[in-house]
Amino acid sequence: MIVKQIWTANNYRNFNYLIACPETGEALAIDPLDHEKCLRAAADEGWNITQVLNTHEHRDHTGGNAEIVRKTGAKILAHKNAKDKIEGMARGLGAGDVIKVGRTVELEVLDTPGHTMAHVCLVAHTDQPALFCGDTLFNAGAGNCHNGGHPNELYNTFAQQLSKLPSHTLIYPGHDYIENNLRFTLDREPDNASAAELLKQLSGQDPNQAFVTTLKVEGEVNTFFRLSSPSVIARLRAAFPDLPDQPDPRTVFLKLRELRNSW
Ligand SMILES: [Zn+2]
């Protein structure tokens, strides 16, 4: 499996992806908003885009579909419940479905509600596994829930699915928000040395060569995976004085999500 992360350089800071089979050159494009960059990248490598995967229905993820389909004839795949929201869907996906790309690539579909209620993530069970997580999980952050999502479902997705993936899983999100998210982590947890170190290392990085985290790194620097950290809880209590003594992780997650909206 070959993964190409494509930086769109737009205001929303979207990442698009091409996943290719090295034997056949067939490629899957994930959320190819910048259809020109995606088509050019595929041409440069000699790949044919045969499928488009939308992680969810938001326009900054689906806006390139029509042009890719017009130029390549690719099929559009997305969550089965997105079919009224995404034009021209050829395949509706559910949990456990497998997407094949060429002869060698297999991607497992996770049904991951929260950011929207029709959101999928893809997992490659390669030697070093990889997660393509759209707007569910960001580097050092979590998706928002204010355009058709629910924080409670987002917590379930984190707790029941994402946190159970192998720790060496590579994380490929739908946007480049890492610097801002690390600042939020440090605001919540000023003593987080890993987050401070990573922010120092990444400040001003070129998103064309973005740092790729693993789930292990996320566990160290992503507040939404650090729900039992005493610092996180203590700082949260300053904002929410009625937080119980030993808050359950769901409560911590929901309060963090709320705080992040106004931060
Ligand atoms: Zn979105």
Q: Give the model confidence (pLDDT) of 170-216 as tens digits.
A: 999 999 999 999 999 999 999 999 999 999 999 989 999 999 999 99
**Beta pairing partners, 6:** 16
Q: Give the model confidence (pLDDT) of 37-51 as tens digits.
A: 999 999 999 999 999
Ligand 1: centre distance to CA 59 (Å): 8
Ligand 1: centre distance to CA 43 (Å): 27
Ligand 1: centre distance to CA 117 (Å): 11
pTM of this structure: 0.97
Ligand 1: centre distance to CA 62 (Å): 10
Tokens 């690390």, located at residue: 182
Query: Once rounded to an integer, what is the mean pLDDT over residues 132-146?
Result: 97
- Cβ atoms of residues 257 and 154 within 8 Å: yes
pLDDT band of 245, cuts 50, 70, 90? confident
- Whole-angstrom Cα distance, residue 23 to residue 165? 27
Ligand 1: centre distance to CA 58 (Å): 5
Ligand 1: centre distance to CA 119 (Å): 9
Query: At CA 141, angle to CA 41 and CA 152, rounded to 5?
Result: 115
Ligand 1: centre distance to CA 71 (Å): 25
Ligand 1: centre distance to CA 1 (Å): 26
For residue 210, CA distances in Å to 36, 78, 156, 223 come to: 20, 26, 28, 20
CA atoms within 13 A on the CB side of 161: 22
Ligand 1: centre distance to CA 72 (Å): 25
**Which amino acid, one-letter code, is at 185?**
T
- List the one residue out of 157, 123, 141, 119 whose CA is nearest residue 217: 141
**Which amino acid, one-letter code, is at 21?**
C
Ligand 1: centre distance to CA 162 (Å): 18
Q: Give the model confidence (pLDDT) of 58-108 as tens digits.
A: 999 999 999 999 999 999 999 999 999 999 999 999 999 999 999 999 999
What is the pLDDT at residue 153? Answer: 98
Ligand 1: centre distance to CA 136 (Å): 8
